[in-house]
Structure 1
Amino acid sequence: MKLEELLKGVIRQENEAYNLYKLGEAFATYERPELVEVFRILAEEELRHRKTFEGLLKEKSLEGTRVIDYLEALSLEPMLEDERPEPSSLEELVEDAIIREKHAYEFYLKLSEILGGSLAQIMRMMAGEELKHAYRMRLVYEGL
């Protein structure tokens, strides 16, 4: 796997997470209006993650870093291979989100261990956000 393919895969997954939360916002509008804001905030954070990786791709920020040595191992991560059908209910959506967030957390944590300096800090921050997303979705799930 090439670095560009890896980054495009991450961008695709972040975009899918964004779309998932926008769908959650729509489901919540009709089923659980008190959850609309939760899904809106999560969608915005996933959009920011996508834009971060688009910037890394455009600026070629990861070229020449240690991540190049780990591309094959990273390509096996569940996050990049996660192809799920569109959920048909709010409960399915939340279950899907919990799984996706766990995969993203593990992926970003692994990247933070490979990278150094400010890039490692960015990945740790994003891993932390993904973990918070999973926790929020777990709370939502328990309330359904």
Structure 2
Amino acid sequence: MNIHKLLKKIIEQENELYNLYKLGETFAVYENPQLAEHFNWLASEELRHRNTIQTFLEEKTLENTKVIDYLDALSIEPYFTDERAEPADLEDLILEALIREKHSYELFQKLSEILEGSLSQIFRMMSHEELKHAYVLKLMYEMVDQQSG
């Protein structure tokens, strides 16, 4: 695998999460209106992550970094096997998003450990943001679960 392919895949996954959150926002408007704003915020976060990675791709920021030496050892299989989500309801959507956030967290955390300086800090910050997203999703899931149960 090369760095170009890795960054393209990250962009795909960030797009998928963005789309999932926009769908969640739509579901929430009808099923659980107080969650719509949370989904909107999550979508904006994923858009920001995607734009950051897109910039790295366009500017070839990671081309001559240590990450190239570790591409085959990153163990990113779970990240690459996430397929297009087709949630049946809000609960299903939140569970799917939690899995994807976990995969993003793990990948960004690994990249932060491999890279140095500001690149390491950027990926560490994004990994921490993915943890925050997972926490918000967990709270949202509990709200949905209480209403349906």
Q: How high is the TM-score relative to the length of structure 1?
A: 0.97
- 2:118 maps to a residue whose letter is S
Measured after TM superposition, the shift of residue 121 of structure 1 is: 0.3
1:82-101 counterparts in 2 under 5 A? 82-101=82-101
- 2:99 maps to a residue whose letter is I
1:36 is aligned to 2:36:
yes
- In the other structure, the counterpart of 1:120 is 120
For residues 137 and 113 of structure 2, the distance between their equivalents in structure 1, rounded to whole angstroms, comes to 26
- In the other structure, the counterpart of 2:147 is none
For residues 49 and 24 of structure 1, the distance between their equivalents in structure 2, rounded to whole angstroms, comes to 19
RMSD between aligned residues: 1.0
- 2:51 maps to a residue whose letter is K
Measured after TM superposition, the shift of residue 84 of structure 1 is: 4.2
- 2:22 maps to a residue whose letter is K
- In the other structure, the counterpart of 2:134 is 134
- 1:120 maps to a residue whose letter is S
Measured after TM superposition, the shift of residue 124 of structure 1 is: 0.5
- In the other structure, the counterpart of 1:11 is 11
For residues 126 and 58 of structure 2, the distance between their equivalents in structure 1, rounded to whole angstroms, comes to 19
For residues 23 and 105 of structure 2, the distance between their equivalents in structure 1, rounded to whole angstroms, comes to 21
TM-superposition CA deviations, 1:99-134 (whole Å, max 9, x none) = 111111111000000000000000000000000000
- In the other structure, the counterpart of 1:24 is 24
Query: After TM superposition, what 4+ stretches of structure 1 lie above 6 angstroms from structure 2?
Result: none
- 2:115 maps to a residue whose letter is L
- 1:107 maps to a residue whose letter is L
- In the other structure, the counterpart of 2:66 is 66
Measured after TM superposition, the shift of residue 75 of structure 1 is: 5.7
Q: Retained in 1: the 8 A contact 2:76–2:107?
A: no
For residues 129 and 26 of structure 2, the distance between their equivalents in structure 1, rounded to whole angstroms, comes to 22
Instruction: State percent identity of aligned pairs.
Output: 62
For residues 14 and 98 of structure 1, the distance between their equivalents in structure 2, rounded to whole angstroms, comes to 13
- 2:16 maps to a residue whose letter is E
Segment of structure 1 superposing worse, 72-81 or 113-122: 72-81
Segment of structure 1 superposing worse, 50-59 or 73-82: 73-82
